[in-house]
Chains A and B, each alone.
Chain A
Amino acid sequence: MLAIVALFMLQYFEIRLLVGSLSGSTLLGQLKLLDVFAFLEVSAAARGISLALLTAVLPVALLYLLLGRAFCGWVCPMDLLFSLVDKVRSPGTKPPRLPLKPQVGYWLAGGLLLTALLTSLPVFTNFFSHLTNLFRAIAGVVFMASDLPVEPAVIAWSLLALLALLLLQYFYPRLWCRVLCPVGKTYGLFNRASLLKLRFRQGDCEGCELCEQRCYMGVKLVRHLDQGKLRDPNCIYCGRCIEGCRHQANLIKMSFK
């Protein structure tokens, strides 16, 4: 996660390995990458799918057909920031119950796409996306520090949007990731078809539920034990359940098969 953000940071030292932000970038000066939800939103706003959009989204879509929602657990910088927030909050407090149903996220994502279609603006990716805002804030601060032309209001907006997400995380842990984030919800759909999945070994589960306690995405693992594998749209393949299970029965593993 840090490594990928660091790759992006290299662009401020005139090394163009990865240029842009996590919602859209260019790898090694050649391969264009576009976030899947950004693709959907821009297509809706432009009212048509162009070849440029398709070629940019295809590598990303293929990658996550392979890896499922691994983006959230391994790439998304908000995951890192959120765990920092968790450290600030006293570790003993139990996360409150989610005030929203998980379906809300799909309605939100659909609503955003509809908004994009009606207003002809990619509203979320442009103004509210944590991915865009984080990188825009970093770029803004870097540019400001080197006395380059920037719009302070844009940087302020980006920082405010990020702060709002961190506050949300402070009071409702992982509400953004589990329910609201349309980017994650889109990648969650990839979980249904992805090659990477959680598999359960044959063995005696003691029902300690260490795995479920570790899972901050609220995936219910134990009830899928009989099926041998798990394809929950909220699983981000962070591997915490595996860590938890290792102390007891060591039943869970990630598998491409």
Chain B
Amino acid sequence: MVNGVNMGLNRRAFLKIVAAAGATGVAGGSGLLLREDTQRRRAAAEEYHLKPLPEITDTGLVRPPGALPGRKFRRNCSGCGACLNVCHTMGYDAIAMAGPRHGGDAATPYIKDMRDFPCTLCMECPDKCPTGALQPLDKPEVRMGMALIDLSLCFGWNGDVCLSCSKACPLGASVFDFNYGAWGNQPYINENCVGCGLCVRYCPLGGSAVKVVTPEIYTQLQEAYLQEVDNLLHISGEERYELVYGRNLPEIMARGRLVEREYR
């Protein structure tokens, strides 16, 4: 399992180069960094003249709802554990304390694994934070992060009608856009997303096709991601067919059997 902050940064830097260079010839040189299936997918994508979907290994530290932006949160948080404990008493257990591998962010709260314990936006933790590091907000104003659907793994983008994520979303219609077409209702999460991760939890794909990244990391990924959405919607039907049945569906089937734990 590829893990750790440095690793993630390397890969992000690498992906930027890939996006700029058109993803030719570089993938081989990075073989050490990449898992086998990722290499396979990337190779298949090159074949279809598509940029690979950024594989997100570093989601950043997704903070509890109402957190002050960026470093300001870290400055104000005393690590007292009020949010952690109230989340536990509510029975959600979404909040955990960051460990030493998060460096200076150790011993501060974050949403650890949205696939098992998503934030339900009960908004108890900002209500209980004694230092004001978490501020009470209305639910739609929360910006914990941004959910990104992996377009090569999502059922909706690969010829099926699933809608699990949009049904799970506490904000529903204001967050989800759909691209209706021959390939079904392809969901797209717009910038009203609060990053609670309920869609991550309820995605039926093994290991979830949705990942929540922090707003900071989203600004880095945004361009490549939107480019990918645009590409998929504009390639020919034949190419799309090859992509879905040749590359994506085998991957989806494999994922169904193998529930990975990449967040941990």
Where the two chains meet, the residues of A that have a C-beta atom closer than 8 Å to any C-beta of B are: 11-12, 14-16, 19-21, 23-26, 29, 32-34, 38, 41-42, 45-47, 50-53, 56, 120-122, 125-127, 132, 135-136, 139-140, 142-143, 148-154, 157
User: Contact between B86 and A151 (Cβ–Cβ < 8 Å)?
Assistant: no
Interface range on chain B (Cβ under 8 Å from partner): 35 or more
User: Contact between A121 and B104 (Cβ–Cβ < 8 Å)?
Assistant: yes
User: Contact between B132 and A132 (Cβ–Cβ < 8 Å)?
Assistant: no
The 3 closest A-B pairs by CB, nearest first: A52-B132, A24-B80, A20-B82
Tell whether A21 pairs with B81 under 8 Å between CB atoms, given A26-B86, A26-B130, A153-B99: yes
A and B contact pairs by CB, cutoff 8 A, 24 listed: A11-B85, A11-B86, A20-B85, A21-B85, A24-B82, A26-B82, A34-B130, A38-B131, A42-B131, A46-B72, A46-B75, A52-B131, A120-B74, A120-B75, A122-B79, A125-B80, A126-B77, A127-B106, A132-B81, A148-B96, A149-B93, A150-B96, A154-B99, A157-B107
- Pick from B109-117, B139-147, B148-156, B231-239 the stretch touching chain A: B109-117
Task: Give the chain B neighbours of A125 by CB distance below 8 A.
Answer: 78-80
Task: Give the chain A neighbours of B81 by CB distance below 8 A.
Answer: 20-21, 24, 132, 135-136, 139
Task: Give the chain A neighbours of B85 by CB distance below 8 A.
Answer: 11, 19-21, 135, 139
Task: Give the chain A neighbours of B84 by CB distance below 8 A.
Answer: 139
User: Contact between A151 and B131 (Cβ–Cβ < 8 Å)?
Assistant: no
User: In the complex, what distance in Å separates the CA atom of A45 from the CA atom of B76?
Assistant: 7
User: Contact between A32 and B97 (Cβ–Cβ < 8 Å)?
Assistant: no
Task: Give the chain B neighbours of A38 by CB distance below 8 A.
Answer: 78, 80, 131
Interface on chain B toward A: helix, strand, loop, or mixed SS? loop
User: Contact between A126 and B88 (Cβ–Cβ < 8 Å)?
Assistant: no
Tell me how many residue pairs across A and B have CB atoms closer than 8 Å.
153
User: In the complex, what distance in Å separates the CA atom of A46 from the CA atom of B107?
Assistant: 17
Tell whether A148 pairs with B82 under 8 Å between CB atoms, given A19-B128, A56-B131: no
- In the complex, which residue of chain A has the Cβ closest to the Cβ of B82? A20
Where the two chains meet, the residues of B that have a C-beta atom closer than 8 Å to any C-beta of A are: 71-72, 74-82, 84-86, 88-89, 91, 93, 96-101, 104, 106-108, 112-113, 116-117, 127-132, 135, 264
User: Contact between A151 and B96 (Cβ–Cβ < 8 Å)?
Assistant: yes
User: Contact between A25 and B107 (Cβ–Cβ < 8 Å)?
Assistant: no
User: Contact between B74 and A52 (Cβ–Cβ < 8 Å)?
Assistant: no
Task: Give the chain B neighbours of A45 by CB distance below 8 A.
Answer: 75-76
Task: Give the chain B neighbours of A126 by CB distance below 8 A.
Answer: 77-79, 107-108
User: Contact between B89 and A11 (Cβ–Cβ < 8 Å)?
Assistant: yes
User: Contact between A149 and B112 (Cβ–Cβ < 8 Å)?
Assistant: yes
User: In the complex, what distance in Å separates the CA atom of A148 from the CA atom of B97?
Assistant: 12
User: In the complex, what distance in Å separates the CA atom of A53 from the CA atom of B79?
Assistant: 14
Q: Which of A21, A32, A121, A136 contacts B75 (CB 8 A)?
A: A121
User: In the complex, what distance in Å separates the CA atom of A29 from the CA atom of B125?
Assistant: 10
User: Contact between B131 and A154 (Cβ–Cβ < 8 Å)?
Assistant: no
Tell whether A148 pairs with B88 under 8 Å between CB atoms, given A20-B80, A127-B107, A139-B81: yes
CB distance from B112 to the nearest CB of A (A): 4
User: Contact between B78 and A151 (Cβ–Cβ < 8 Å)?
Assistant: no
Q: Which of B74, B97, B112 contacts A121 (CB 8 A)?
A: B74
User: Contact between B106 and A154 (Cβ–Cβ < 8 Å)?
Assistant: yes
CB distance from B126 to the nearest CB of A (A): 10
Task: Give the chain B neighbours of A33 by CB distance below 8 A.
Answer: 130
User: Contact between B96 and A149 (Cβ–Cβ < 8 Å)?
Assistant: yes
Q: Which of A14, A132, A143 contacts B78 (CB 8 A)?
A: A132
Task: Give the chain B neighbours of A21 by CB distance below 8 A.
Answer: 80-82, 85
User: In the complex, what distance in Å separates the CA atom of A198 from the CA atom of B86?
Assistant: 39
Q: Which of B79, B130, B132 contacts A25 (CB 8 A)?
A: B130
User: Contact between A154 and B75 (Cβ–Cβ < 8 Å)?
Assistant: no
User: In the complex, what distance in Å separates the CA atom of A154 from the CA atom of B74?
Assistant: 17
User: Contact between B97 and A154 (Cβ–Cβ < 8 Å)?
Assistant: yes
Task: Give the chain A neighbours of B108 by CB distance below 8 A.
Answer: 126
Task: Give the chain B neighbours of A143 by CB distance below 8 A.
Answer: 88, 93, 96
